[in-house]
Each structure stands twice: as C-alpha cells, then as structure tokens.
A and B are shown apart, each in its own frame.
Chain A
C-alpha cells in the first residue's frame, strides 16, 4: 500500500491538544490535577468512540472493561509484590494483565451480546456489567465486596517517593499516552477496510450483510479494541492513581453514561469528537463542582436532553459540515 502522509493530518490537532494539556499541566502550578481529569475524560471518550461511535451499538456496560482493567493491575501488584527483582516491570505485567482480562471479557460478552441488536443489546450489556459485579461480590472472588487496597505493596516495591510520583504524575502521563494511541487506532480503522465496513453496518446492518461484509467480525474487532483501551485506562487512571479497587465503584454505570455523553457531545464516529467532548465535559464538570457543588448532575441532565434533541451530530459533526470544501477540511475528521 502506498504511504500517504495526508491521511494522518487529522491527527495533528488531536496531538497538539494532548501535548498542550501535558505542557499546561506540568508547567503551571495547580493545573496538573485538572489536566489529568481532562485527559481521563478525553481518553475515555476516545476509547469508547471506537465501539459506540463506529458501530452505533450502545454498550451500557462499558465500565466493566475499566473495572477488569483495574482488577488486572491490582492482581498483578498484590500477587507479585514479593518478587523483588521485577521493579518497574510489575507495572508492565499489570498492564498486560489488564489487556488480557479486558480482551477475555470482551470476547465473552461479544460472543453473547453482539448477536443482539439495538435495545436488546443495550439491555444485555447492562446485565453483563451488573452480573459481573455481583458475581465478584457474591462468590467472594478477588476479596469480594471488600475490594483490594495495595498502597502498602506499591510503597514496598518502589519506595514511598516513587510510589507517590507514580500515582500523581506517571499514571496521568500514561492516560495521555493511551488517549493518543486510541486516537491513532481510531484514525487507522477509519482509513482502512475496517472503517468502511463499520460505517456500512452502522448505516444499515442488513444491507451491509447482503453486500458480503462479515459484520460480526468487524463488530468484534471494534468491540475488543475499545475494551482493551478501557482496560488500560482502568489499570492506569484508576488502579495506579488511586491504589484500591472496590466493586461498586469500578462498575458504576455513571462512568458509562459519562463516556456516552462525551462521545455524543463531541460527535459520534469522529476522530476529534471525543477530545472536544471530553474537554467540554471535564471543564464544565470541574467548574460546576466549584461554583455549584452538588448540582452538576441536575444541570447536566437537561443539557444532555437538549443536545440529543437539537444537536444529535455533536459539535465536531457540525464543524465537519462547516469546513467542507475549505483548507481546514483535511484536519477535521
């Protein structure tokens, strides 16, 4: 295949934004926490968009993949803490475990739920998420509802100072890297056969099938890719940043809904959308929690309803139509 650099131009604004977030956070005092939060929401949107945006399927149980990713890192650290020569390698192992567990769960869920469509799929995924949480609590695996706390293990492996730097700095850097990687994969899929197949099936699954597209295969590809990024995100933004894991927290459906809002606000199925959505959502949540603490959801709910009713394409969706035919066209996707 002939390499075409213009293909990757749309990544420029995305990466400029992530770099700016890193520079603002690391150079301006007091901004790192905010940037870290924004990075998390952007990464969440970017990862979820690969499935939700590209296929049009609504996965209400998406947070389960972040949950198992968190467990992957937690298990890696607690089970291997006594092996002294691992050092930083334990983080790599934790991330690998997160990927493996997210892949396995997404394969299992995909095999069951992706046979269903529309509302049935959405209901099934809620069932999977809740079911998995109650399985952990009910059968008391991985400490059941007591969860796992591994601050002590982290301190023991890395020493107090490095462990603290890990949770306040490196975990967030990892989130930014995940966001950037997810953006790259999104664009790669968009420009390849996978993207075309997914667009076809999003518009009309039956027609796509008749055209000879192996819809199940492409749905599974998008589902697993999206789940793997979610697992990595759980392992870094949750497990490393706050070294504990409790089932009710990591399977909280509100994170799924936040992810849906971000994707929809920015524009489902676009590359830039999750970034824009994540920034707007994160910033407004942050400032609302300062100005009107406790009222964020009360204000968000009607806004979301308004967006769904009046701007179903999202911000980037509208922007894309605006810049059509101008020089900006190849940067906005």
Chain B
C-alpha cells in the first residue's frame, strides 16, 4: 500500500518536477549571465498565473494560448526592469541587486493586489484525465508537463544553434573575453534578463495548469524558495541544470511528503519544506557547483 502510494506520488512528482524545472530556468539564466540573484522571482510566476487566470475567466482563452501572451508580457517586463534598474547595478555590490530585485517583486505583488484584490482565485479547464497504473493524471497536468519539456528543448536548440544563444554562452563563460571578441555584452545582459523573466512568467501559466487554484498576489513566495533549492541543485548558473534539478526536486518533494505522512505526530507539509531547506544548505556546502555537473 505504501509502495503503491509512493510510486503514484512519484509519477505526480516527476510531472510537477518538469514544471518546477521550467520555472527555475529563468532564475538560473539570469544568475548565469548577470550574476544577479532574482529574489523577486516568485512575483513573476504570480504574473504568469494571473495572465492565465484572467485570459481564461474573462476572455475564455485556454491556458495553452496564454503562453505566447505571457512570453511577450514577460519579455517586456524584463526589458523595462533591465533598462530602468538592473543595468545600473551590475557592477554594484550584491546588496544592491538583491534588494532591487526584492523590491521589484514587492512592486509587482502590490500592483497585482491593487488590480485584482488579495483573495484566492482559481479556474477550471476541464479537458478530461488519463488513468495511469498507480495514479490518475488530469490532461491539463500532462499538457503543462509536455509544454515545459518542449520549451526546455527549444531553449536548448536556441542556445546551441543560434548566434544570440552562442553569444550568451560566451558571456556566461567569460564576460571580459566575450567583450574582447566583439560580443555586445550589454545587449546580451538585456536579452538574458528579458528572456529569463519571460520564461518565468510563462512558467506561471504552466503552473496554474498543474495547480489551477490558489492564484493570489502573494503566491510567489514559496516558489521563490523552491526555485532557489532547484537552482542550487542544478548548479545555480545553468538553465539545463535547473531543469533536471526541477525533476529531481519534484521527485524528492513528493516522495518525502508521502513518507513523512506516515510519521506520527508531525506535520508532513511543513516537514517537507524543512527537508528541502536542509537540502539547500547541504548542497551549497558540499557541491556549490550543483549535483549534476562534474567539478
């Protein structure tokens, strides 16, 4: 019985993990290129969630079609915040960029509260479900998972086959060297930040397909923390590392939750979060380059 439940939850965890991974790629991309930790990460996920919710409940647009809308809005937000704020903070001490991205997050949250109010919202996109051996999977979750994998693959191709992608990788490797070779480093910074934010906003749409309730201006906080753990799992500076980190994290989260639920006298939900925080610390200490990359 335990085993069956565990396997069922692990399948769910893998599907959720793909979305977690997708939701962290933006964070890793921005850290890899700009060396800035986006502490307001969760707020951008919230923006995507509201886009999906609003398009669906006000205009009847299905969440899949909300993805391009979210991407455009995310890119626009990214360019706006890069040119107005972050451009000036690249060379500043960490404190400045950490506090700036946190403030951007607060700004987005409060703006969302002003427009939509602070109550919890959700939507119901009923497209049926499929039955797997150990568990039942709604089609929306499957679409979200497939969407995440597809976006990750597209990003991989873009990074490796296009000039802009190659320029970005060169800046990650060595920004001074890239500049010497004639790469427009400033442009790469702007594009990476915008792309990172765009990906994050899109992941908000995908996330509501997985969990279509609990949409609220302050929903992003827990996802910021999860994204940190995942990013650190994947090496912090690598978007693909982040994707695989997400898969691993989804499995660990659901697996440990299932097991903690069998312990008497504890709250499994809180303990799962405690467990992921400990994981974060341990990995930061023993393998700051991430679990998946050789040193």
Contact = CB atoms under 8 A, between A and B. Distances in A.
Contacts of A137: 267, 270
Given A137-B267, A298-B107, A130 B281 contact: no
A304 B99 contact: yes
A127 B228 contact: yes
Interface stretch (B133-141, B189-197, B271-279): B271-279
B265 interface: yes
Given A298-B114, A301-B104, A123 B88 contact: no
B92 interface: yes
Contacts of B280: 123-124, 127, 131
B103 interface: yes
B185 interface: no
A116 B288 contact: yes
A260 B95 contact: yes
Interface residues on B, range: 35 or more
Contacts, number: 138
A126 B99 contact: no
B266 interface: yes
Interface in B32-59: 35-37, 39
Q: Is chain B's interface secondary structure helix, strand, loop, or mixed overall?
A: helix
Most A-side CB within 10 Å, residue of B36, B110, B114, B268: B110
Interface in A215-249: none
Contact of A308 (B36, B99, B113, B271): B99
Interface residues of A, number: 44
A128 B277 contact: yes
B229 interface: yes
Contacts of A79: none
A177 interface: no
Contact of A302 (B107, B109, B265): B107
B72 interface: no
A127 B103 contact: no
A255 B13 CA distance: 33
Interface of A: 52, 56, 58, 60, 112-113, 115-116, 118-120, 122-124, 126-128, 130-131, 134-135, 137-140, 144-145, 253, 257, 260-261, 264, 268, 295, 297-298, 300-302, 304-305, 308-309, 312
Nearest first, the 7 A-B pairs at minimum CB distance are A131-B277, A138-B271, A138-B270, A137-B270, A298-B110, A134-B274, A301-B107
Given A297-B106, A312-B92, 8 more contacts: A116-B284, A119-B98, A131-B273, A138-B268, A139-B274, A140-B265, A297-B109, A302-B103
